Amino acid sequence: MENQNIEKASPWRIKRYYFYIFITIVALVLPWIKVNGNHFFLLSFDKLKLHLAFVQFDMQELYLMPFILMLLFLGIFGMTVMGGRVFCGWACPQTIFRVIYRDLIETKLLGLRKRIKNKQQEPDMSKPENKVKKVIAILIWTFLAFVAAADFMWYFVPPEDFIAYMANPSEHMVLVGGMLIIVVFLVYDIVRLKEDFCIYVCPYSRVQSVLYDDHTVMAIYDPHRGGDIYDQDHNRLPSSSQKEIQERQEYAECTACESCVTVCPTHIDIRKGLQLECINCLECVDACTTVMGKLGKESLVRWSSDYEVIDQKGKTKLFRTKIIAYIVLLIGVMIALGIMSTKKEHMLLNVNKENRLYSIKKIDDKYRVDNAYEFLLQNTKSEKMKFYFEIIPPKGMEGKIIIAKPSKPFTVVPGVKKKKIVVLRTTERLVDNDRADTVIPITIRAFALGHEDKIVVFRNSTFTYPRSDLLK
C-alpha cells in the first residue's frame, strides 16, 4: 500500500490538463458574457471603447490602462518570484497549444507519437502513413488556430460584431488580415518552432533569472539523495548507468532511467540544476515519482526550492518580505484602479468658445451681449438620454447670464458625439470697464434629465463682456 501511495503522488500532468480545460473554457466563453450590454474585457479600436469588469469606458478614459498593465506585470513578476516559470507551464497559451497539438492530436488522436511520456523522440516521417497523419494533424491544428485567432480577436472586436464583419469580409480586410496573420503564426509556431519559442524567443525566460531567489519554488533535483550527474560547471559526469553513479557516490538513488529527461518538453535534463529553459510543467516530477514509487521511495525531483533541497537550510518560505511587498503593491494598484474606475463620467463634454469673442445688439434701451460656444458631447451610457445644462456665474451675477440657445433639452444617443452650438446671453450691465473687455469665469453644469445627481459633469469656461465704450 505504501508503494502505491508513493507512486500515485503528485499527478501534476493530469492537474495541468484540467487547468488547461478550465482556462480554455473561460477564454472562449468570457467574450460572450455581457452585463448591461458591457463585456468583462473589451478594448474596441473600432468603437473606441474600453469595457472593464462589465463597465464601459470611453477612449478618453484610458487612464485606466496603465493600472491594468501594472496589475499584469506585478502579478506575473510576483508569481515568478514565488513559483518560477509556473505561468509558462500552467497558463501560457504557447504551452497549452503545444499540449493540444503534441499530446492530444499527434499522440492520442492520430498515434503519430507513441507515448506522451516521451517528448524527445520525434515521429518517424520516413513512413508514408506517418506523413499522412502529419498532414491531418496540421489540418486539425489549423482549424483550431482559426478558433484561437477568433477568440483572441473577440477581446478587441465583440463576437456579435465579429460575426457580422466576417459575413462580409471584403469590407473588413484589416480584420481578415489580422486573423490570417495570427493563424499563420500559430501554425508555424506550434508545428515548426515548438518549444524553441520558450527557449530562444520568449523574453520572459531572461527576465525570470533576475527575479529568482533561494526560496523560489520550482522543479528541482535532489543531488543529496540521487547523486551528482553534472559537475559544478554543468558538464555531465561519466555516469551512463546506475552502477557507475553508485560507484562514484554510494548513497546515490538515481536509477539513470532518464525518464525525467525524455518527458521534458523543452528537452533539458533537470538534474543539471537551474536552467532558464525549465517551464515548471512538473512533468519530470511525475516521471520520477512513478519510477521511484515502484521502489518504495520518494521522487528525486521535487517541487521545492534551492533553500530546502540544495542548501538544506530548512523549509521554503513562501510568504517572505519580497512576496509580501508584491502583494502590497498589487493590493495598492487594485485599490487605485477601483478608485479611478469610480470616477468614470457617464457624459463626456468638451466646451470650446468660438473665435468671435462676443456679439452686441441694441434692443430698446438695453444692449444684448452674446457669447457663442461649441459643445462636443458624448453619451457613454447604453441608452438614449436627454441632456441639458445650467450656468453658474460668479457670486453676485446669479441669473444675469442666461441660456439663449438651445432653449430646451436635447437627446443624445449612445456612442455618438453630438455637436451643439450654445449661446449664452446677458442684457444686464455686468461690469463697467472703459479700458478693456472683461473675462468673467463661469461654470457649466451639464446633466441628464432624470439622473441629475448621478450623470452630471462640471466644466469651467468664461463669458467675455465688452468694454463700456462699445455699449454707448
Enumerate residues 6+ apart whose C-beta is below 8 A from 90: 16, 19, 280, 281
Tell me if 59 is assigned to some domain.
no
Domain of 256? 1-32+84-313
Domain C-terminal end among 296, 313, 330: 313
Q: How many CA atoms lie within 13 A of 88 on its CB side?
A: 27
Closest CA to 303 of 99, 6, 87, 10: 10
Instruction: Kindly state whether residues 306 and 232 are assigned to the same domain.
Output: yes
Same domain, 193 and 100: yes
Instruction: Answer yes or no: is 78 within a domain.
Output: no
| Residue 450 included in any domain | yes
Q: Show which of 313, 331, 361 is a domain's final residue.
A: 313
Cα separation, 255 vs 243, whole angstroms: 8
In a domain, 203, yes or no: yes
127 and 276 belong to one structural domain: yes
By three-state DSSP, how is residue 42 classified?
A: strand
Is 460 inside any structural domain? yes
Residue among 444, 446, 450 nearest 418 (CA): 446
d(CA 52, CA 341): 9
Residues 293 and 360 in one domain: no
Examine the fold and report which residue of 313, 339, 355 is the final residue of a domain before the chain moves on: 313
Instruction: Kindly state whether residues 391 and 260 are assigned to the same domain.
Output: no
C-alpha to C-alpha distances, 340 to 66, 446, 455, 459, nearest whole angstrom: 11, 21, 16, 19
266 and 383 co-located in one domain: no
Per-residue pLDDT of the chain in tens (472 residues, 90 and over written 9): 334 444 454 488 999 999 999 999 999 999 999 988 889 999 888 777 888 888 877 766 677 778 888 988 898 888 889 988 889 999 999 999 999 999 999 999 999 988 888 888 888 888 899 999 999 999 999 999 999 999 999 999 999 999 999 989 888 999 999 999 999 999 999 999 998 898 888 888 777 778 888 999 999 999 999 988 888 878 888 766 777 778 778 888 898 899 999 999 999 999 998 888 889 999 999 999 999 999 999 999 998 999 999 888 989 998 889 899 999 999 999 998 888 777 666 778 889 998 888 999 988 888 999 999 999 988 877 788 899 999 999 988 988 999 999 989 998 888 778 899 999 999 998 988 888 999 999 999 999 988 887 888 899 999 999 998 888 7
108/244 same-domain check: yes
In a domain, 327, yes or no: no
In this structure, the answer to whether residues 297 and 366 fall within a common structural domain is: no
Residues 396 and 449 in one domain: yes
352 and 297 within one domain:
no
- Report the number of distinct structural domains present in the chain: 2
CATH for 376: 2.60.40.10
Residues 228, 103 within the same domain: yes
Q: Answer whether residue 208 is part of any domain.
A: yes
Domain presence at residue 21: yes
Do 351 and 309 belong to one domain? no
3-state secondary structure of 398: coil
